[in-house]
Amino acid sequence: MSSTIMKQILVDMDGVLADIYAHLIAYEYRESGILLNQQELNGKLEGEAFPSFEKVVRSKGFFRTAPVMEYSVEGLNYLNNKYKVLIVSSATEFPDSLTEKLAWLNEHFPFISWKQMIFCGSKDSICGDIMIDDHIKNLGSFPGRKILYTQPQNALIQDPSLERVNTWQEIVGML
Amino acid sequence: MSSTIMKQILVDMDGVLADIYAHLIAYEYRESGILLNQQELNGKLEGEAFPSFEKVVRSKGFFRTAPVMEYSVEGLNYLNNKYKVLIVSSATEFPDSLTEKLAWLNEHFPFISWKQMIFCGSKDSICGDIMIDDHIKNLGSFPGRKILYTQPQNALIQDPSLERVNTWQEIVGML
């Protein structure tokens, strides 16, 4: 038993808990016949890299059926026992994503309660000590410890204020 | 033109922008034939006051069809021109409410963008300078200026750390 106050950790969904790139690649291929590889995606935001992005992310079922990132269930469960975890997801831009993301969390991460979920437009006003995210736009203004989860769109970024991780095993190893 | 940084104001939906009591009274009457009056509601949380509360708030369409609080459109528009407004609503407990609340905001408050919306379980981790809310559980731990919007459930509360308002006209007059 410890008397220290638990640190609060903000965990992103798309690109951190959900393997949204694998999902986008599959949807893009189905939609347009274009099969993108990792090399072609590096350094481009999702909307630039995937020609059908706008259509795909607004299609019913996209977020509900996203694959779960490898080892993220075990990893988040570990964090949830050690920290005050909040799942913070950009969702209000895509109205259908809201209930889909909530149902997806309930299915794959049943140990996360509705009290731990935040669906927002911007993450600027969410307080925490640590943030795990794959987007610079979210980490940039965060005043706490910033952990960048590697995804193709951020692969070229070099920023000493960020701690880069490539897997959930690495997250568990450092937190 | 002013060079001061805009203060951030967190505005609640149910009981502040949406006249959720009028809506609950109507739904309760339809559901059970019980017609509750203001006197019977005072000092009780909604779940205690309305026998059909749990059923009603989980029924499809409830949040989508809530009446708009008098003068709230003009009032929020005024705030939106003067402050950085964030709409912060407890919503993740009731999955269907998420997309309904977003559609409701888009219909009645079209000047509020998706970037200004936060749907959460707990409001403890949302930063701001001013909070307008009808629930003590949300205002209690808020470190900024706390404005309590009068509703039957909070009618008996006397707390000098809160500024009580009864109408949107009062909000506009003081902010």
Q: Report the relative pairing of strands B162-165 and B117-120 from DSSP bridges.
A: unpaired
Of B93, B103, B125, the CB nearest to A86: B125
The H or E element containing residue A144 is none
Q: Which of A8, A114, A124, A130 to mutate to test the interface with B (most CBs of B within 10 A)?
A: A114
> What does each C-alpha distance from A147 to A44, A122, B100, B107 come to in angstroms?
20, 18, 33, 38
> Of the candidates B93, B99, B127, which has its C-beta nearest A96's C-beta?
B99
pTM for the full predicted model = 0.95
Q: Which value does ipTM take for this structure?
A: 0.94
Whether A86 sits inside 8 A of B128 (CB atoms) is: no
How confident is the model at residue B173, as a pLDDT?
A: 98
State the amino acid at position A172 in one-letter form.
Answer: V
- From the list B93, B96, B118, the residue facing A120 with the nearest CB is B118
Whole-angstrom distance, CA of residue A124 vs CA of residue A143: 10
Cα dist from A130 to A52, A71, A121, whole Å: 33, 20, 19
Q: Which of A86, A125, A141 to mutate to test the interface with B (most CBs of B within 10 A)?
A: A125
B2 pLDDT more than 80? no
A92, B119: Cβ pair inside 8 Å?
yes
Pinpoint the alpha helices (H) of chain B: 20-32, 38-41, 46-49, 53-57, 72-82, 97-108, 136-139, 168-174
For every one of its 175 residues, what pLDDT tens digit does chain A have, with 9 covering 90 and above?
Answer: 444 689 999 999 999 999 999 999 999 999 999 999 888 899 999 999 999 999 999 999 999 999 999 999 999 999 999 999 999 999 999 999 999 999 999 999 999 999 999 999 999 999 999 999 999 999 999 999 999 999 999 999 999 999 999 999 999 999 9
Mean pLDDT of B4-27: 95
Q: What type of residue sits at position B154?
A: N
- What confidence tens digit (pLDDT) does each residue in B40-73 have? 899 999 999 999 999 999 999 999 999 999 999 9
Average pLDDT, chain A: 95
Is the CA virtual torsion B136, B138, B141, B142 positive or negative?
negative
- Residue B71: what are its φ and ψ, rounded to 5°? 65, 5
**Residue B93: half-sphere exposure toward Cβ, Cα within 13 Å:** 10
